[in-house]
Structure 1
């Protein structure tokens, strides 16, 4: 055997021994070793890595106080004016969002029709495909704070990467790790949406630590008031955020998550039926009318709704198996005045049938679901028959009027348009 052949055998034996030691966890992998052939590395979730490979990394509690800024001693740059303006609408939204577990999901926590947030926590390991060698661990939080506006055809999203904790093994340079956020915003309806010039941010983790926030503003074209002509200039759009993390030593596909955050939004110029003539809302936000039994102004209205929702068979018209929506099944706003009048006509006929002539008594016929909903008394099935999923009751006239004003307020405060869903909740 010549010297060259012997050298090849020795080199092969050395590589085999090194791989065995790495697999046993007795050696620390270097980037050069990790990047060769079957030892190519890539970021993967910690849940896919054996516990013994995670033991070398610190166990750090997940909290704002333990973020990378405190750990590394780096300071955040001041937010840009656009970010500061968006956050000024609710500077405590992020803190409030962190208290809601549902925020750690792509659809996030919807505070109301004008504010939403997503708070995703990521824990990744840079490892070989067989997970036998780890080169580092990376933890961070990704945020999306959304702000819609009552009075403007505009929506702001404040997007960020925060609380970065990077732990490379000796020989791996985590300053070269990068995190990217890519936003896709697509809309359909009356005109296109104006988008920001930048919808993607790719930065090394040091840059994210220095400036974690960036903002995206979307607006819909405004043609002026056309609602009298039947054009409410509705634009429905959705935002999708994708994440990607990579290292220069990555030889496999970078870790990525499409749809890390999602948001649905609607722009409109609906006119006075929505309160302010134009605006934007997060359509997944829950709109709710809350009435208190302890409120003397609407005590009878609240009691009627409570009975209708909880004991519908005791309300008129009365029959076994009766159910009335609004608590768990939403109601839907009806704007057509003629159809509202038909709802009232059916409800009043029930009041007259049960209580007779009540004129001059100061009482009025209260109907639930409200006449201003598609679920009102005149609701019919596919065969054209009344479904009778309603209740009609005589209550004090002023109480009835005050209850009606509360309903109108919910419609305008939440920009509830025709066929938009909302719920009714009765509390003590």
Structure 2
């Protein structure tokens, strides 16, 4: 929009923001004054015009706009196509050179006629006709100023209304309030009030910590030189249509200030300066209502002219009114509530694979402040909070930048595997909390989903007796690696030996791997001079001796002699659990150990009794690897040696349960950590015969089949899992004919042999050397070499 002057203009005289074009029209100067929002253009008449009906034309360029005169004398500009209002030119007014002593203003004023001629295409002429009577009045003091101001629409608005004024004063460079001490022609005081509109969009819905409104006060009417109060109100919107007789609603007073500058003439403090009022509560009202515009009214607290004040408006070139607000936006709502790991959602519910999951959310903050998150956790089924140090299920994160993850970790001991919980979030920026909780989000604790997907099932286990594996540390490490990688041992060609995934033949109790025939040899030298040896048993000393034997990992174990037995196997125990997210079996733990069982047969009865036969056993666990749930502090192993006994024929009164049962040493239950520190435990198996040994009654023979078992108890695992070694056999004897040892226990799954040596010339003591073994050895040797030389001759007898 461009306001022009018809005809040529002389060179202007410049003074600050004012340009004066002398004698631009007959007897008149054109004055253009820049303001912050645009400009003001005046015509100043230095003397009464010499012609009647004095008129001048202002050409106006308003591209894309139409102009129309309004009833109040203003001009409304609208969009030529849409009709939307774009700008308003206030009704022109003129005043003479007189200044009121109290108000400091040109109070002798009059309306100016203005005709709008719209030529179309944005070409508009404004014909300005000053009031002829005013110009001719003897009381008029020249020069007279005619003001056809223009103003542009802005984001803020200010004006003032004054009793007796019927034109828009929004283009003025000043704002007034109070009583100027002058009166209208009808005797009413020319009271004024200021109306303002502020752009409050920046702090809509914010929390206001402080706010002040400031005005540059360049004139005050306090001739008593005292400070006089002025009030700040919340109002409805003022506009260019606001007049004294049509003011916006004055809703509530929020502030009062006594600050005063530019005291009246005669006072000591006459300097211009800033005055202010605390409007925190008013601004908070706007912010809480989320207003994008705040409407303010200012008026004197008294009707006396002592309260009169003039301040710069927003149109002034400097020191415009200002509203200073310190505010803080509440942090925003959470935008991304999540639970994990794995931070995966199924059917709208998060799945977590740990009992101490991480909950997280992202928050916004309009001020860019760092924020933290408050998380509240409830049991979905009971709708009760979990236990936290802050109470009420509350957990608080550290401070993070807006848009970053704020996270907390649920403490141990609060969640149960398989249960559903819910949580919600709230944010805090160090000053204010968000007023809203986020919606509840649910998560299911599914620790099984943390494992490796597998085709194994709960209860599956491996008992490996292949010496190429059991005796090779590298193979054992390979089994560990493959199990953790694949969730099974199929890549190594190994299938479970126990559990639902084991081959049916291997799973049957009475079907074992083929046993190799066992033979042990006792040299004649052991029985020096034909006497009983000092060590009748020659027990296997320790697991190392067992492992060194070639046959220790055979399914039947190693029979060193009838009293000495051992078995070495590799136990591979997977923990398998059913996962919910997604639904499948998962490997959630691994246990790998070498298990060595050493058995010791006995000659004689328990505690020298005649009815109870027994055998002792030592079990040793050499644990190679513990992972997953097996590695929990509360994980336990119970070692047992169950035995199933049967009686030989001819014992009708014997009870099956007495054939073989656990004696005093029943095994051990301990944490896996303690087993790793000390892998040893003891067992004993007993067999009780109902009768004493008797030649007439026959033998009291019982056979016991025993299998070492490991039972695992894992926290959060709702089933007992176990692993079993290979089956062994012990025989309990009771024979009256054997006067040397009427009772005892042996391991029968081997064929004994006696070795006769030619070198065995052991002496039985005085009076003569014992040479019986040597003679028998030579005889056997000669018989093997020349069977026909033996006597008497046996035609069917041959020595191998």
Give TM-score scaled by structure 1 length.
Answer: 0.49
Q: Which has the higher contact order (CA 8 A, sep 6+)?
A: 1
More helix as a share of residues: 1
More strand as a share of residues: 2
